[in-house]
Amino acid sequence: MLVLLCRNVQMSDQEAQDDELLALASIYDEEEFRRAESGREGEIHLCLELPRDFKLLVSGEKCVEYDVLFLPPLVLSFELPVDYPSSSAPVFTLSSKWLSRLQLTSLCKRLDDLWQENQGSVVLFTWIQFLKEEALDFLGLQSPLEIHSTGSKHSQLERCRTDGAAKRAENASAEKKKPAELDPRAVLEAGPHADLLRQLLDFDEAQRQKVFDSKVFCCGICFSEKLGSSCVLFKECQHVYCRACIKEFFQIQIRDGKVQCLTCPEPKCTSVATPSQVKLLVGEEEFARYDRLLLQNSLDLMADVVYCPRTSCCMAVMLEPNATMGLCPSCRYAFCTLCKRAYHGLSHCLPTVQELNNLQEEYLAGSAEEKKFLEQRFGKQVIQRAVEESFSRKWLEENSKNCPRCGCHIQKMEGCNKMTCSSCHQYFCWICLAPLSRVNPYSHFNNPNIPCFNQLFLGVDEEDDEFWSDEDE
């Protein structure tokens, strides 16, 4: 009779275990609940539910805050004894990357208490609910979750309320002085040299991407609905576009050399695509061009960097402060950084024809500092000559015309519109600049088929008309 009763109890425990494990497998996916082949062992990965606007605070020389939505999971590894749940509790370990062993020990003791409260019943789901929903409050943790970065190889992670500095110090001291009080079931996954902040941020980024991939979004370009796994998110502005549309947009900009224009296509939006986003969308050749142009644009913005003027080289050249000589590290060409020709020492730069034409306007419109720079570059005499020539050229354009034969500047002081060039003695019409016949130059003004018909004295004052003669020209 006693043997039969034991068998019934064993059968009842086994059925309860099977029912519990089947229920957990139906509630949680394979990433959260993993059951061993033996059927009595497993792992449960629990991501704690964080409040909104949860932050990480990195303390050190400077305090920096990071917004996070997810933290790496607590891992509850368990093994079910034969007499669970009638007599024995599950054998378990609790591990974490971001909680201290002292905090994990507190959680282990709370799990033991929950078993005592529910002894004789399955308890795994009760443990899971506590860890997911109540662990932060139980440990007294809230935003910002503080990470102390002291630079020591033994630097550790402590979390607490912002006003609990004394309590953090007390807990850390207790953990060091009383290692015997630490529960052996509390396991710290992070090693002493691990970059914990990077692990936390990487996990948060991966989980955000996972959530994004599972949602449906409307593309801001083609207005079709697609899964996030087929879309691109601009993190600064949160605008979403499908990969096909944004890929074509990026390819056009890169082909046109507008690598600084790889921004969100939304009008007036200034969010910039990250290089990693560009690399995932475009081909290797296009990304290589994008990377090269981006570097070149960055160098162009640096005041102490110029390019070798040789078209066969074009290597970036670093300049010494206030230096006007550049020495190309590739082809060893020494050049003037102002005029881009061979270095000419202390001599002034020789302006080109185009520079001379623009020098007067640039000098007169420039500030005192800009005028001083132009005088140092070209010399005061060159500047003065350019200004005088520019004024002369402007006066000639407004007050004279060119002879149609030799191009000499002719100024009309008085007389009729039949002109004689003082250089080559060519007759020409002052109105249309047409060459006139030497035999009968006035026939041009008597031809009714041309606009100058009867215009010989056009513009002549009446007083001049009375005393006009051919010789006066």
For residue 34, the domain's CATH number is 3.10.110.10
Which pLDDT band holds residue 360 (cuts at 50, 70, 90)? low
Cα(134)–Cα(140) distance, integer angstroms: 10
Query: Are residues 74 and 221 located together in one domain of the fold?
Result: no
Highest mean pLDDT out of 54-58, 136-140, 372-376: 136-140
Q: What is the pLDDT of residue 156?
A: 39
Residue 3 has pLDDT above 50, yes or no: no
Is residue 67, in this structure, part of any structural domain at all?
yes
Q: Which residue has the higher pLDDT, 341 or 378?
A: 341
> What pLDDT is attached to residue 9?
47
How many structural domains does the chain have?
5
Give yes or no: residues 12 and 117 share one domain: yes
Q: Which residue has the higher pLDDT, 368 or 389?
A: 368
Q: Provide, rounded to the nearest whole percent, the portion of the chain with pLDDT above 90.
A: 16
The pLDDT value given to residue 298: 67
Residue 209 lies in a domain: no
CB 325 within 8 A of CB 343: yes
Q: Are residues 51 and 167 in the same domain?
A: yes
Residue 348 lies in a domain: no
Please tell me whether residues 319 and 281 are part of one structural domain: no
Residue 304 pLDDT greater than 80, yes or no: no
Answer yes or no: is 341 within a domain: no
Residue 328 structural domain: 305-336
Q: Is 394 exposed, middle or buried (0-12, 13-18, 19+ CB in 10 A)?
A: exposed
Average pLDDT over residues 427-442: 89
Whether residue 289 has pLDDT greater than 80: yes
- Going by pLDDT thresholds of 50, 70 and 90, the confidence category of residue 312 is confident
The span from the CA of 274 to the CA of 237, in Å, is 13
Same domain, 361 and 236: no
Chain-wide mean pLDDT for the chain?
A: 79
346 pLDDT band, cuts 50/70/90, is confident
Other beta carbons within 10 angstroms of residue 177's beta carbon come to: 9
Positions annotated as catalytic residues are 416
Q: Are residues 45 and 138 in the same domain?
A: yes
- How far is the C-alpha of 15 from the C-alpha of 118, rounded, in Å? 18
Region 53-59 average pLDDT = 83
179 shares its domain with 233: no
The answer as to whether 342 is a domain residue is no
Q: Based on the domain organization, do 130 and 56 belong to the same domain?
A: yes
- Identify the band that residue 469 occupies on the pLDDT scale cut at 50, 70 and 90: very low
Q: Is residue 343 part of a domain?
A: no
Is residue 231 a part of any domain in this protein?
yes
User: Do the domain assignments include residue 347?
Assistant: no
Contacting residues for 386 by C-beta, under 8 A, at least 6 apart? 351, 356, 359, 360, 363
* 156 & 48 share domain: yes
85 and 109 inside one domain? yes
What is the rounded average pLDDT of the residues 36-52? 84
CA–CA gap between residue 213 and residue 306 (Å, rounded):
45
What's residue 294's pLDDT?
77
pLDDT at residue 169 greater than cutoff 60 = no
Residues 310, 263: one domain? no
> Which CATH number belongs to the domain containing residue 275 in this structure?
3.30.40.10
Residues 377 and 416 in one domain: no
